[in-house]
Each structure stands twice: as structure tokens, then as C-alpha cells.
Amino acid sequence: MSREVRAILDMFEIVFLGTGGSIPTEGRNHPAIAIRFQGVVLLFDAGEDVQRQYMRAGLGLNRPMAIFVSHIHADHVIGLPGLLLRMSLLGRQRPLEIFGPKELIEYVRMTRDSIGLGTTFETTVYAVDEGRLWGHNGLSVRAFPVKHRGLALGFEVTYQRPRGKFHPERAEALGVPRGPLWHNLAMGKAVEIDGRRIEPHEVSDPPPSPLKIVYTGDTRPCESLLEAATGAEVLISEAMYASDKVDLAQERGHMTAREAAELAAEADVKLLVLTHYSPRYDLERGATILNEARELFSNTILAHDLMRIEVTWQGARVVASRQYS
Ligand SMILES: [Zn+2]
Ligand SMILES: [Zn+2]
């Protein structure tokens, strides 16, 4: 497999479906973030109108998918029934797993009949509080408790590449001829040549450290978040207020942009993306909170609805961004 193909396969794509905090605005929907990896869609929160944002983003309703809800506040779940209805009406076939605080089970159950849930695909809702929730082929999602109002979760998404880089020159030096034996070694299998056994670690680097993206949900700065965010490629953080509203942030269990930047710096993340910011910052396109965060952590960007970010071991880059008007 060429290095280019490998890079594409090992690429995360983050799509911001909604970036509004509490109240949607003309240009920003309620919170919802899709993270796509190797054809799998992981959806974090499902605010109002997530179904149409999901369609606009072209994410596909019959993909392998799991949904993770950070907490039961309406701005994070109010769009879930609509999204499930859409999947039901359009004949999704694949089973769907949904993870979140225990109230989510009752919430989905209450809307089940009106949605017609269970007619075309199986839905399972899991009540969770922390720990590893989901995993598939090296991709995994872990929840950690954060500090909001009631049980609230943050999420850590990681991908662990199974093997490190294969070095053909090392294989050559050990007398392994180019061809299927190289392929086997590159895929992590030992080979034999003239009665000698060559192990994959002799010709490949150890696997790189996992690629990590962390989403805070709604929270005050806290130890569990700092721990999860440490070393992350991307930290997606709520930043409901600017520092002049720190009292409000403390009272309502949110973060200021400054606090998010402080945490990003301490956690040594590569990129900080601010989201879930108050409608009051729409008038100046979020400049106040962005500038405030950048004073402490320069590699900060502000999320907008339908912004896309690609994340690989080479770093993160914004590939599409539409400024709201
Ligand atoms: Zn919220
Ligand atoms: Zn909340």
C-alpha cells in the first residue's frame, strides 16, 4: 500500500454540523459534530435540525455509525428524534448504537412510536458515564466525566495504527527479496528466508502514538478534561463566553474562550477549535472570543457550521469553511 493511500485511509474528517451555544442563530445550528474515519461516522451531540445539516454535509444515512450524547440538555439532544425519523423514513438498514447519560434511554423510548423506530433498523441505547464505549479496527471512543450541570460527558476519539512504518532498505539489508515477503513483513507477519526467521519489528518502526481528537461537551475546565486532552491533535472545546462573562460561565457550568485556551496550552494540543459560543458573539463573527483565546494559544480557530477539518499524523487543516452571514 502506498504512503499516500495509507494517509488517506488514516485520515479523520471533522464536520461541524452545528456550532451554536444554547440558542441557534440564523447562521449556526445547535451543537452537533460528525467525525468520519474510514467510512464510519461518529456523531457527537444532536441539536436541533441536525438531520438537515447531516444531509447538507453529505454524510450518508446508511453508514456504519454511532451516536454519542454529551448530556441531556435540550440543545444537545433535541435533534435526535428528527435524525432517527429521517433514517427510518429513508430505510436505513444498518443497526445503530447510541451512547449517553441514562435519561437518554427514556428520551428515545418516548419518541420511538412516533418515529417508527425499529421498522427498518435496530437501535440500541446505552446508559454510560465513563470509560471506553465503542471500538472498531483501532478506532475507539472513550467518555470521561466533565463539570457541567448534572451528568455531562466529554469524549476522546483515538485511532491506533496497528503497525509502524515499513523500511524496505532494512528488509533488503537482511536479504529479503522485494515482493510478497516484503508485503508480509509490512503487514506485521514474520517471514523465513534461507531458514532464518525475520520478525516485523526488525524492518518496521514501532506503531506511532495514537491520533487523538477530544470534544469537551459543555463544561467548566476540569482535571479529567485536561488529562484527556493532553497530547491531542485537536481539542474541540466549548467557549460559551468571553472573559468578561466569567461569572456567568461559572454559574452555568461553561468555559470562557480564555479558559479553553489556557487548558489547550497546558494540555499541549496541536489545534484548538472553539465551538458552542453564545449568539451574542455573532454580531462581530466571534472575533472577541477568538482574539481572546489566541492571546494565550495562537493555534486556535473558530468553528462555523459545515466547517470541515482533516486530521492526520501530519497535522490538522481546515479544508472547507463557510463564514456565516
Ligand atoms: Zn449546550
Ligand atoms: Zn448544557
Ion ligand 2: protein residues whose beta carbon lies under 5 Å: 73, 218
Superfamily of domain 3-162+207-320: Ribonuclease Z/Hydroxyacylglutathione hydrolase-like (3.60.15.10)
- pLDDT (tens digit per residue) in 189-241: 999 988 999 999 999 999 999 999 999 999 999 999 999 999 999 999 999 99
For this structure, is 75 an active site residue? yes
Indicate which ligand has the atom closest to the C-alpha of 31: 1
Residue found under cell 514474520: 190
Residues of the chain with CATH 3.60.15.10: 3-162+207-320
Q: How far apart are CA 90 and CA 320, in angstroms?
A: 28
- pLDDT (tens digit per residue) in 259-309: 999 999 999 999 999 999 999 999 999 999 999 999 999 999 999 999 999
State the distance between the two ends of the chain, measured CA to CA, in whole angstroms. Answer: 44
Residue 167 CA to ligand 2 centre (angstroms): 49
Residue 319 CA to ligand 2 centre (angstroms): 29
Predicted TM-score (pTM) of this structure:
0.92
Nearest CA among 170, 197, 173 for reference residue 186: 170
> Is 164 in a helix, a strand, or coil?
coil
Q: What's the rounded mean pLDDT across residues 170-185?
A: 93
Q: Which residue is catalytic, options 75, 247, 268, 282?
A: 75
Residue 303 CA to ligand 1 centre (angstroms): 15
